[in-house]
Chain A
Amino acid sequence: MKFLRMRPGFGEQLLAEGDPEVAEDQERLVEEFRRQLDQGMWAAVPVVNESGRREAEMVRAFEDVPLATDRVIFFPRAAGGAV
C-alpha cells in the first residue's frame, strides 16, 4: 500500500509504502496516516465498484482503508473559494 500526497509544484509525493498485514509496516502506515490528518489533509481511496466503474471513497481513519487498496491519496482539505 502506498500513501501519496498531492503537493503544489510536485504532483504527487510518496509519503510511505508498506504491507498493512505486516505489523511493523502497519504501525508506520497508521502513524503517517494520523500525521497527515493532523496536518489537515483529507484522505481518499480510489476504488472500483461492482460494475467496474472507478469511484473514490473518503476515509477518516486508517481502519476504514480497504485492505485490498494499493494507494491512499492525501490532499489538502477543501475550503470555500473566492467570495
Chain B
Amino acid sequence: MTIALAATAIVVVALLFEISLPWLDRRADRRRALKEARLREPGNSALYDPGRERRAEQRARELLRSCVNEEEWSMYRDLGFIRVWGGQSGGVGGLASRGRDLRGVPYAYLVYPHKPIVAYLPQTGQLLNEYCVEFPDETRPYGSPRLPDSDDVLAKWMALKGDEERLISEANMHLPGRQLDPARVRRDLWRLKQWQRERAKARRSGATAAEARFR
C-alpha cells in the first residue's frame, strides 16, 4: 500500500513538473528581461563608475577647501579629520543642550567622513560621546544616498558651526566606543597634537614642508 502511494506521488510530481515547465520558462525569461532593463537604468549601482565617484570627491574637496579655514583644510588633508570647537554657534551649545554640564570647560568635536562625530575634552583628552549622524540624499541620483566624503565633512562642519544644537539634537548619541574604537580616536588626538606641534615649529622656522611627514 505504501509503495503504491509513493509511486503515485512520484508520478503526480513528475506530471506537475512537466505541466509547469513552460510556465517556469516564461518566468525565467521575464526575470532576465527585468534584470537587463534594470542594468540599463542610469542610477543602477551595477553600472558603478569609480571615475565619477573620484570626480565627485575632487569637486567636494575643492568646495570644502573654499569654505573651511586653512588650518582645518590642512588638518583634513594631512590627518583625515577636522577638529571643530564646540559651543561657538551661539545659543546653549550642543553638549549643554543634551544635559551635559561642562561648567565652561572647552570641548571640541572630531569630524570624520561618514563616521560618528566624537566629542572630547581637549585639555584632558577625555572622550565624551559619539554622535551618529548622516545626510542622506533620498533622491539617490546614482543609486546611493551617500554624499562624497568631503561633502559629508563639510556638511558636519557647517552644521556644527552654524547650528550645533540642531545637529546634535538630530544625531543618535552614544557613549564612546559604539562605532569608533576609542584607542583609534586617542591615537588621532595624539596625531593631532604632534601635527600642531610640527606646524607651530614649521611656522616658526618659516618652513611648511614638515606637514608632509604626517601624510
| Residues of A that sit less than 8 Å from B by CB | 4, 6-12, 39-40, 42, 44, 46, 53-58, 73, 75-83
| A-B contacts, CB under 8 A, total | 129
- Closest chain-B Cβ to A15's Cβ sits at a distance in Å of 13
**Residue of chain A at shortest CB distance from B130:** A81
- Closest chain-B Cβ to A36's Cβ sits at a distance in Å of 12
Give the contacting residue for A81; candidates B55, B154, B172; CB below 8 A: B172
Query: Is B63 touching A4 in the complex (CB atoms < 8 A)?
Result: yes
Q: Tell whether B67 is near chain A: CB-to-CB under 8 Å.
A: yes
Query: Is B58 touching A11 in the complex (CB atoms < 8 A)?
Result: yes
Query: Is B133 touching A81 in the complex (CB atoms < 8 A)?
Result: yes
Q: Tell whether B147 is near chain A: CB-to-CB under 8 Å.
A: yes
Q: Tell whether B87 is near chain A: CB-to-CB under 8 Å.
A: no
| Residues of B that sit less than 8 Å from A by CB | 52-53, 55-60, 62-63, 66-69, 88, 116, 132-142, 144-148, 151, 154-155, 157-159, 161-163, 166-167, 170-172, 179
The answer to whether residues A83 and B132 also contact, given A9-B52, A10-B141, A73-B158 and a CB cut-off of 8 A, is yes
Residue from the set B66, B132, B144, B147 with the largest chain A CB neighbour count within 10 Å: B147
- Closest chain-A Cβ to B49's Cβ sits at a distance in Å of 8
Query: Is B162 touching A57 in the complex (CB atoms < 8 A)?
Result: yes
Q: Show 6 A/B contacts (Cβ-Cβ < 8 Å), sorted by A.
A: A8-B144, A9-B142, A11-B63, A53-B69, A58-B163, A73-B63
